[in-house]
Amino acid sequence: MATDPAAGFGETMREHLREAEGRNTDAIDRIVERVLDAVKNGARLHVTGTGHSSALVLEAFYRAGGLACVNPITHPGLVPLTGGIASTVLERSSDLAEVLLAQAAPTAGEIAVVFSSSGANPLPVGLAQGMKAAGVWVVAVSSLPHLHAAPARAGVKLDEIADELLDTGVPVGDAAFDTGQTRTAPLSSLTSIYLWNLLLARLAERAEQEAVSLPLWTSANVVGGDERNADLLAEYRPRIPLL
């Protein structure tokens, strides 16, 4: 019986995630220590991404089981659902970075996570540079194979700016299933979400070891969820306007 190549791609994806986890274990541990310190100090965790990386900002923000200290840095025009070509044009311009940074008002001691598979477009690069200038510790989540091949539209790339980098390892161009004539099935979102949740899981373990209570959202669709979230809203809404 002939093997279905699409079925085999399921194992390819699982193996890719295993490799991504192994490749980033040490970096995740270092990031977790920084995030734990930020939580102890009541600091925010800024998260940003453009284009389809906007989905990763959504994954990190106001999510059941997620950190309440996450401040999303975004703009409607960066989301492809409001205009696909327009979102590409915006991420290739650094003009919006100054406005978004002014709105975020980053301060020293905070952390920023910049999701960008190519790590090369001017807007995510400009946001990372602005965060660094404000004394924020910057984490990039990128694909080094893609980043190394992408044109340096901003003169520098995220790996030259970030204090730490999580490498998704997705192939150049993102699409990972190749029939010989067709390439499809991008892996950047799946891998980035996996790495983010590995970080949260490791953070929970470290917090428990140090008897630190993490500011984690509870689903609003379980009994008592709204009540448990009320204190977090009171604490973080003054500093996270999108709440």
Is 49 contained in some domain?
yes
Instruction: Name 70's bridge partners.
Output: 45
Question: Which tens digits make up the pLDDT trace of 83-116?
Answer: 999 999 999 999 999 999 999 999 999 999 999 9
Is 19 contained in some domain?
no
Length of the chain: 243
Element (H, E) at 3: none
The answer to whether residues 45 and 38 touch, using CB atoms and an 8 Å cutoff, is: yes
Side-chain-facing half-sphere of 64: CA atoms under 13 Å = 8
Give the domain range for residue 64.
Answer: 31-168+186-236
Give me 210's structure tokens. 């140090």
Please tell me the predicted confidence (pLDDT) of residue 1.
37
Give one DSSP letter per residue of 41-54, joined into a string: TT--EEEEE-GGGH
Give me 22's structure tokens. 């192994």
Is 4 contained in some domain?
no
pTM of the shown model: 0.95
Distance CA 208, CA 127 (A): 33
Question: Which tens digits make up the pLDDT trace of 156-196?
Answer: 999 999 999 999 999 999 999 988 899 999 999 999 999 99
Asked whether residue 211 carries a pLDDT value surpassing 90, the answer given is: yes
Please tell me the predicted confidence (pLDDT) of residue 179.
87
Is 159 contained in some domain?
yes
Domain of 124, CATH number, reads 3.40.50.10490
Give me 40's structure tokens. 């102890």
Is 104 contained in some domain?
yes
Is 241 contained in some domain?
no
State how many domains the chain has: 1
